[in-house]
């Protein structure tokens, strides 16, 4: 009976801690940055190649986003860069990519609806960095960096800064996911993060 009680108490306290963590992140985020209007997520298509790919050719672009290589059923491999919040952000990074010599690159919209499988709105992303220059070199060089985190990295641009964040989230029911990303950030050396609100509606605050 005693063991059962303490087990229940531990689960309850963990739930409380998760709730308080999300509440604190939300409160800080709301005071730091108002909602940013985002009509979609975008990536840059860098190339489509039929021969074996020498990934080192594209290495100079890694500071602007996560590189991905997607084979097609036609024998081609498409090279993509990044996951950008809003077309304006993608266009800004595209200009940097073209300056690096990849003149044929262009913007592709991703099929993202900003809602969960249950139809709940995804309204936040866990922001951990904001810099005037976009350079992911140090982040991707960290020992704790991995492919799972790379797939969740979102980049947006506003008020003169590139913002880095993890995930598309709804903190109302994804407290565990928020905590997972927060712990991942701690392992990467980022002690501070907050839930930044975004919206795909024109009525949102800018």
Domain ranges of the chain: 19-36+113-199, 41-109
Q: Give first-to-last CA distance, the chain, whole Å.
A: 54
Instruction: Please tell me whether residue 148 adopts helix, strand or coil conformation.
Output: helix
In 3D, which of 124, 112, 135 has the Cα closest to residue 29? 124
Asked if residues 150 and 80 have their Cβ atoms less than 8 Å apart, the reply is: no
H/E element, 89: helix 87-99
CATH superfamily to which 41-109 belongs? Sporulation related repeat (3.30.70.1070)
Sign of CA dihedral 27, 29, 30, 35: negative
Residue with tokens 């996911």: 177
What's the rounded Cα separation, in Å, for the pair 137 and 56? 14
Which pTM was predicted? Answer: 0.79
What's the rounded Cα separation, in Å, for the pair 20 and 153? 24
List of residues 6+ apart from 92 with CB closer than 8 A: 157
36-37/194-199 β-pairing: parallel
List of residues 6+ apart from 98 with CB closer than 8 A: 105
CA atoms within 13 A on the CB side of 146: 6
Residue with tokens 């609806």: 113
User: Can you give the pLDDT of all 206 residues of the chain as single tens digits?
Assistant: 555 544 554 554 554 454 444 444 444 444 344 557 778 899 999 999 887 788 899 999 999 999 999 998 888 999 999 999 999 999 999 999 999 999 999 999 998 878 877 778 888 999 999 999 999 999 999 999 999 999 999 999 999 999 999 999 998 888 999 999 999 999 999 999 999 998 776 434 33
* Count of all residues that appear for the chain in the document: 206
């Amino acid at each position: 009976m005693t063991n059962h009680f303490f087990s229940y108490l531990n689960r309850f306290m963990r739930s409380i801690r998760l709730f308080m963590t999300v509440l604190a992140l939300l409160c800080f985020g709301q005071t730091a940055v108002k909602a940013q209007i985002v009509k979609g997520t975008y990536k840059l298509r860098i190339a489509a190649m039929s021969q074996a790919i020498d990934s080192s050719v594209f290495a100079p672009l890694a500071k602007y986003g996560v590189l991905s290589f997607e084979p097609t059923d036609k024998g081609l491999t498409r090279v993509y860069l990044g996951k950008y919040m809003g077309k304006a952000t993608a266009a800004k990074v595209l200009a940097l990519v073209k300056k690096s010599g990849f003149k044929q690159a262009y913007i592709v919209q991703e099929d993202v609806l900003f809602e969960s499988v249950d139809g709940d709105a995804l309204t936040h992303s866990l922001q951990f960095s904001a810099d005037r220059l976009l350079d992911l070199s140090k982040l991707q060089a960290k020992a704790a960096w991995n492919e799972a985190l790379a797939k969740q990295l979102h980049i947006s641009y506003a008020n003169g800064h590139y913002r880095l964040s993890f995930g598309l989230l709804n903190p109302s029911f994804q407290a565990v996911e928020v905590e997972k990303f927060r712990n991942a950030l701690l392992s990467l050396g980022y002690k501070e993060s907050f839930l930044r609100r975004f919206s795909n509606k024109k009525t949102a605050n800018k």
